[in-house]
Each structure stands twice: as C-alpha cells, then as structure tokens.
Amino acid sequence: MNMAAARYRIPDEPRPSGLVRYAVDPMWPLLAIMLAGNGFGLAWFAFNSRALGSVTALREWAWVAASVIGCMLIHLLLQHAYAQGWLDKSAVAYAVLAFPALKITFAYLLYLDQSRSAELLTHYGGTLRNGAIGLFAGFLLARNVIDKLALPRILEEALR
C-alpha cells in the first residue's frame, strides 16, 4: 500500500468540496445577516456550509430553515395578536423586536457550527477567503433586490 495514498481522517474533519476555494470564515455570513439581511446571510451560510464540507451541514441547513420559518411564524403571531386586539400600536413597536432577536440567535448558532469546520480546515492547511467584498456587495444590493421582488409580505419580512 502506498503511504502517500493512505490518509488518516478524523471523524469530524470537514470534507471540502470543489467549492472550497470560495469558503470564507463564518464571521462574514454572520455580519451579512446583521448588515445585509436575513436572506443574503442565510444563503451565504448555506453556500459556505457546502464549500467547507461541514460535517454539521444538515444541522446548519435546519437552522437556515428554522430562521425563515420562525420569522414567518412571528409575523403570523403578531398579525393575529394585533387583529384580536391583544396588542395595541405602541406594543407592536416592541413586539417586532422578536424578529432581529430570532435572526441573530439562528445566525449565531450557524456561526458556532461552521466555525468548527472552518478552524479544522485551516488547521489542516486549507485557506479561507476574505469575505469583505461579498459583505459589501450584499450590503449594497441585497435589500434592494428583496424590495424589487414580488414576494408575499410574510416571506419578505423573513428575508429582510
């Protein structure tokens, strides 16, 4: 057996794909959620998960789905509470703070899951790209694109 061909693998070692050259530190998609919106940041997290070959990819995709579905449920809940008179206009201003709280919570969970794979990738000689240009482009374009799409209000709120 050729020793160069035999390679030791640890069970939680990332299995990078051909997209690994586009992988970034998970800090960049986290900042993207904060500055460019949930839709752009979640899409970047999902792409980065695939590029890193993250061993927690299924859980990360579940966090992405939970973030969007959670925002949609909050939207429905607040809309129903307002229609029933359980919330007045002044209370709605405080209740909508549930959106950024939920978005940041799931973004941080995604960051924690992906950071392990990113650290292992760099430890074993891989390199991560600088995501500043992607963040800047997302900051300038993402919210405008979502505004131009004819999305239902509930989905628009989840991706904003």
- What's the whole-model pTM score? 0.84
**Which string of b and e fits 102-128 if b means at least 16 CB within 10 Å?**
bbeebbebbbebbbbbbebbeeeebeb
DSSP class of residue 47?
Answer: H
160 residues of the chain, pLDDT tens digit each: 555 555 655 666 666 667 888 899 999 999 999 999 999 999 999 999 999 988 888 999 999 999 999 999 999 999 999 999 999 989 999 999 999 999 999 999 999 999 998 898 888 888 899 989 989 998 988 888 887 888 888 888 888 8
φ, ψ at 8 (rounded to 5°): -80, 135
Closest CA to 153 of 74, 36, 45, 49: 74
Spatial contact of 49 and 60, defined as CB atoms under 8 Å apart: yes
Closest CA to 153 of 98, 79, 102, 92: 79
